[in-house]
Structure 1
Amino acid sequence: MTIKEAILKSLSDLEGIVTYLDVYNHIIDKGYYEFKVAKTPERTISAQLGEFIRNGDTRVKRIKQENGNYSYYLTRKEENIDLEIISGEKPNVKIKGKKPKGYAERDLHRLLSSYLKNTSIYSKTIFHEQSKYGKDNNQIWTHPDMVGVKFLNLQNKVSQNFLKSINRVDTFKLSSYELKKEVNSDSELKKAYFQAVSNSSWANYGYLVAFEFRDSLSDEMERLNQSFGIGIIVLNSNPFKSKILYPAKYKELDFKTIDKLCKINKEFEQFIEQTDRLMTAQERYYKSTEKELDEFCDNYFENDAEFEKYCEEKNIPNGELN
């Protein structure tokens, strides 16, 4: 059997609604598949089950439990499952297996920073709780989760200086990012999207980023993007496979909001300061100033081994494992 065949066979054997650990343990007990390479085979099963959903494979369905974890079942077995469980009317569904350890939303920041660095964007996490009035829950509508800057790379120094003297704003573009672990419903999408609209008003480009979007939301995502201009990025456990689903629309910088963010958040102020320093650096100091900005910004992965190890440590489902 292939690993997918082993998963389908196990779901058929087990009947009902089960966790990825139930599926993994059944595969091992029955000897359906031999995990020769994967260091964490149970996470491989979790990732493969997620692939069924993300790829729109109608053979497998899932439901979200009260604790935020997912359980799975075969579509053709649906008629044998309590409809109240499927509809979510019974929040405390008893399921087999151990409670899988989840990952934090901010664990995704390093994946996003790696994707952005690969597209020549320097990015930095902004911790709203470190701002003045940081304990105010409304601050999440003011602060982006991450900010980024991309510089126009003109090869000729004369043309670079000429552009700076005309309009320094055109030498760089600032972006804002709102991150979510997953977006599974229309209401979740709207809340996350308008949070991104609110806290990205100051930037040239604003993005909503999530590790997983439900396929059925694509039409609404397109409508919101066309109406409000905030782009949408789907994040992959392999950050270099992340992609822009809907591009952000360009808008002019809002310097009053930038000034407000600089006043209330030191890290945002430092990010703007580092950006300015690189734009105004003399040629002989450019490389050292660029290095300072790179060190100030978030860490990023430089190869596959690094992100695979990170996903394993942080319990982020990694579809790259075989």
Structure 2
Amino acid sequence: MSLNDAIIKALDVIKEPATYMQVYKKICEHNDYDFKDGKTPASTVSASLGNFIRNRDSRVKRIPLKGNNFTYYLSKYEGEISMEALQVVQNNEPAVSVPLQATGGFDERSLHRLLSSFLHSVNIRSRTIFHEQSNAKDSNQKWIHPDMIGIRFVNLHTATSQAFLNAINRLATFELMSYEIKKEIKTDYELKKCFFQAVSNSSWANYGYLVTFELSDVLMDEVKRLNQAFGIGIIRLSGNPFESEIIFPARYRELDFVTIDKLCKINHDFEKFIDHTEKYITADSRYTSALASELTKFCDEFFMTETEAVEYCRGKNIPVILE
């Protein structure tokens, strides 16, 4: 187990904001990492926690304390922490890192598991939509399929408030996302083509995203303009999926049920995803846990640790940055 994985495990056990010393003690308690001959292992944990924030790792957030100290917690437990405590500091200090060189090219679809891991870390379930399995093969359908779809459920703190929201408006209990994935975008022409493909493929969803592994910095002004004009969000995917970044957020839109119906007719994966979603949001509270498990099993696999992600990237020749 890497130190980062040991830190994530410790925070998962603690479940609430913890200091670096509490995290260090929990790691030692479970013997999850061998600090070997390090003279200041607790300081090593503190530095690693800081790297999670500097690298914008989606799994970890922090709360400032007096004296330039912090407590850290897992993003998935944010809903259980008081609103007064959630004054998270954003630190944009760049990380000093060493690239792990790839041995060759990689397939675009191999990025899907990285994206699903990033999305899972921010509580979004996702599923790849295989274009080749659709029963509509004509060119007019080329830009109707998203590469991946996702759903985020609104999780309130009490069963009563959740039931009340369901009674008022079931559409307010979830959000549907569409993702168009590209290996790289290096020219203005590529950006325009990919962006408007994302616009077309996401017309049915609440939020549409263009996801790319490599994005030329010289295009950022045009990316910003297109985002503001059309509302498509931009995600820069990382070899360590938990350090992926939403560069520009997507703008909310109402669902297009005509297009949803069309996609259900031509693609079984899409129809099954919508079917799982409908069963979950309309089910009695006694059955939601089992239905949530069914949906998770149907969705794409994801990495639980960055060690798994690094091994996957090595096998797929995907460049990854290591500390």
User: Counterparts in 2 of 1:28-39, with a 5 A limit?
Assistant: none
Deviations 1:39-80 (A, max 9, x none): xxxxxxxxxxxxxxxxxxxxxxxxxxxxxxxxxxxxxxxxxx
Which deviations, in whole Å up to 9, do the C-alpha atoms of 1:190-232 show, x marking residues without a partner? 0000000001000000000000100100000000000000000
TM alignment of 1:127-138, pairs within 5 A:
127-134=130-137, 136-138=138-140
- Does residue 122 (structure 1) correspond to residue 125 (structure 2)? The answer is yes
Alpha-carbon distance in 1 for matches of 2:256, 2:310: 38
Unaligned runs of 5+ in 1: 1-98
Aligned to 2:189: 187
Cα drift, residue 160 of structure 1: 1.2
The answer on whether the counterparts of 1:140 and 1:195 sit within 8 Å (CA) in structure 2 is no
Given the alignment of the two structures, is residue 247 of structure 1 paired with residue 249 of structure 2, yes or no? yes
Equivalent-residue separation in structure 1 for 2:239 and 2:303 (angstroms): 11
1:206-259: per-residue Cα shift (whole Å, max 9, x none)? 000000100100000000000000000000000000011110000100000000
2:275 equivalent among 268, 273, 276: 273
Q: Kindly indicate whether the alpha-carbon contact (under 8 Å) linking 1:128 and 1:139 is maintained by their aligned counterparts in 2.
A: no
Count of aligned positions: 225
Q: 1:150 aligns with which of 143, 149, 152?
A: 152
Alignment of 1:9-88 (within 5 A): none
1:166 maps to amino acid: I
CA contact (8 A) 1:115 1:239 kept: yes
Per-residue deviation at 1:116? 0.2
CA contact (8 A) 2:177 2:207 kept: yes
Q: Normalising by structure 2, report the TM-score.
A: 0.67
What amino acid does structure 2 have at the position aligned with 1:201? S
> For 1:102, what is the secondary structure of its paired residue?
coil
> How far apart are residue 156 of structure 1 and its match?
1.5
Distance in 2, Cα, partners of 1:167 & 1:151: 13
Structure 1 residue matching 2:151: 3-state secondary structure: strand
The TM-score normalised by the length of structure 1 is 0.67
Match of 1:259 in 2: 261
Question: Where does residue 215 of structure 1 map in the other structure?
Answer: 217
Amino acid in structure 2 at the alignment position of 1:183: I
Q: Distance in 1 between matches of 2:231 and 2:276?
A: 27
Q: Which amino acid aligns with 1:116?
A: L
* Matches of 1:169 and 1:100, distance apart in 2: 46
Aligned match of 1:228: 230
The Cα shift of 1:133 comes to: 2.1
Amino acid at match of 2:120: K
Equivalent pair of 2:242/2:306 in contact (CA under 8 Å): no
Distance 1:138 1:100, change over 3 A: farther
Structure having the higher Rg: 1
1:109 aligns with 2:109: no
How many Å separate the matches in 1 of 2:241 and 2:135?
Answer: 33
**SS of corresponding position for 2:253:** coil
Supply the RMSD in Å over aligned alpha carbons. Answer: 1.9
Structure 1 position 101, deviation (Å): 2.9
Q: How far apart in 2 are the matches of 1:172 and 1:165? A: 14
Alpha-carbon distance in 2 for matches of 1:259, 1:181: 29
2:260 aligns to what SS in structure 1?
A: helix
- Structure 1 counterpart of 2:208: 206
Q: CA deviation at 1:100?
A: 4.9
